[in-house]
Amino acid sequence: MSSLIECRGLVKRYGRVEALRGLNLNIGRGALGLIGPNAAGKSTTLKILLGLVRASGGEAKVFGLDVWRDSFAVRKRVGVLHEKPSFPGWVRGLEYVEYLARLKGVKGAREAALNELRSFGLENAVDRKIGTYSAGMVQRLGLAQAFVGGSELVFLDEPTANLDPLGRADFLEKIRERVRSLGISVVISTHILSELERVCDSVAIIYGGVCLETGGLGDLFDRYAEDVYLVESSDDGRLMEGLGKLSSVERVWVEEGQLRVKVRNRGGFERDLVGVAYGLGVGVRRFEPVWHSLEYVYKKVLEVKGVGA
């Protein structure tokens, strides 16, 4: 399968500052989350992929096309919502999205623009000047213009900024629906990792201008999440002592008033726990594996790669 986005040894220097230091990235279709700390190089990567910034070195391709040389062809098939988007305030919302649809060569640009504006909840504001929009409405307009014209790939930089909680949930649902039913691919750059978990199939972790890790969410959980159990008993102190002696257990500790056990072998531990509890005469009230979040995986990747959380 050919990659949707391919970056090889991508370098970008702004004067003496090196924003990207040989970034390698290989992304297929679907929903990808781009995560990393501030100044990691996420936005620079997006700008290079859009042909807004020219790479100082390396190679980047979208749809197999060079992002600088064939930038026009790439942008015909791509939509984007920039971080803190700004649109001309003297223009009406509908006019603006219609104009972008025309640039993409959409037939029936007005209808397409109206549909997208409706889809993102701006049906009552299409004839209002953008300058009169609230921050949340500007964000919705940005989403509408990113998707108008049947974009095959959409870059979204902090897409839920300024959206209210219901708006966020609605937006995430729409993205998931479009990815699954329309086959649109999205690249989402955000710091809100819980949102990525709800939408994305895969994640790329960027740090210091390089890609530390990339892969499917399930794959990353398998590789980085630890086998930790939460145990609630009638006597945590005694149980902690007993579990600490088991070969299937690596570590036992108390976190937020609850007993946690990191195990070496799941099956072995589950058998051992019952035996130990029975032997000590301790009642086990609750016993379940700890669900790891993407945030946990992200921190773990930084830790494993030696760049610190």
Partner 1 sequence: MGLRALLGWEFRNLVRFPLLELLVFIAVYLSMITAAGGTGMGMTAQSEWSMYPSGIAETIMRHSLNKVESLYLATIFTITVFASVGIAREVEAGYVKVALSAPIRRRDLFLVKFASCFLTGLAIFAFALFSAMFLRNWPSALYIVSYPPTLLMFFVLLLVQTFYVAGVATAMAVFSKSTAASFIGSIGIMYVPVYMAQTVAGLSIPFIPPQSTRLFAFYIASSRVFWKQYDLLTLMEATAIPVLIASVLLLASFVYFTRRFDLS
Q: Is 38 in the site for partner 1 (CB under 8 A)?
A: no
Select from 82, 174, 198, 299 the one that contacts partner 1 (CB under 8 A).
82
Please give the backbone phi and psi of residue 184, each rounded to the nearest 5 degrees, phi first: -75, 140
Q: What are phi and psi of 64, to 5 degrees?
A: 80, 5
Q: Which of 38, 90, 285, 308 binds partner 1 (CB under 8 A)?
A: 90
With CB under 8 A as the contact rule, the residue among 1, 2, 16, 105 that binds partner 1 is 105
The distance from CA 296 to its chain's CA centroid, rounded to whole angstroms, is 14
Q: What are phi and psi of 34, to 5 degrees?
A: -105, 115
Tokens 């086990």 correspond to what residue?
284
Cα distances (angstroms) measured from residue 241 to each of 218, 259, 297: 34, 11, 29
Binders of partner 1 in range 243-282 (CB under 8 A): none
- Whole-angstrom Cα distance, residue 309 to residue 302? 6
CB closer to partner 1, 86 vs 181: 86
The β-bridge partners of 287 are 231
Q: Cβ 152 to partner 1, closest distance in Å?
A: 13
Minimum separation from the CB atom of position 110 to partner 1 (A): 12
Say whether residue 53 binds partner 1 (CB under 8 A).
yes
Q: Compute the distance between CA of residue 258 and CA of residue 233 in angstroms, rounded to an integer.
A: 9
Which of 60, 94, 100, 282 is the binder for partner 1 (CB under 8 A)?
A: 100
Contact 51, 71 (CB under 8 A): yes
Q: How far is the CB of 66 from partner 1 (least distance, A)?
A: 15
Q: Rule CB under 8 A: choose which of 11, 50, 193, 217 binds partner 1.
A: 50
Q: Considering only CA atoms, which of 292, 298, 303 is closest in space to residue 205?
A: 298
Q: Exactly one of 52, 230, 240, 290 binds partner 1 (CB under 8 A); which one? A: 52
Q: Which of 99, 221, 287, 296 binds partner 1 (CB under 8 A)?
A: 99
3-state DSSP call for residue 126? Answer: coil
Q: With binding defined as CB under 8 A, does residue 75 bind partner 1?
A: yes
Task: List the structure tokens of 170.
Answer: 């609605």
User: What residues between 10 and 29 interact with partner 1 by CB under 8 A?
Assistant: 14
Tell the smallest beta-carbon distance from residue 51 to partner 1 (Å): 8
Chain residues binding partner 1 by CB under 8 A are 14, 47, 50-54, 72, 75-76, 78, 80, 82, 84-88, 90, 99-100, 102-105
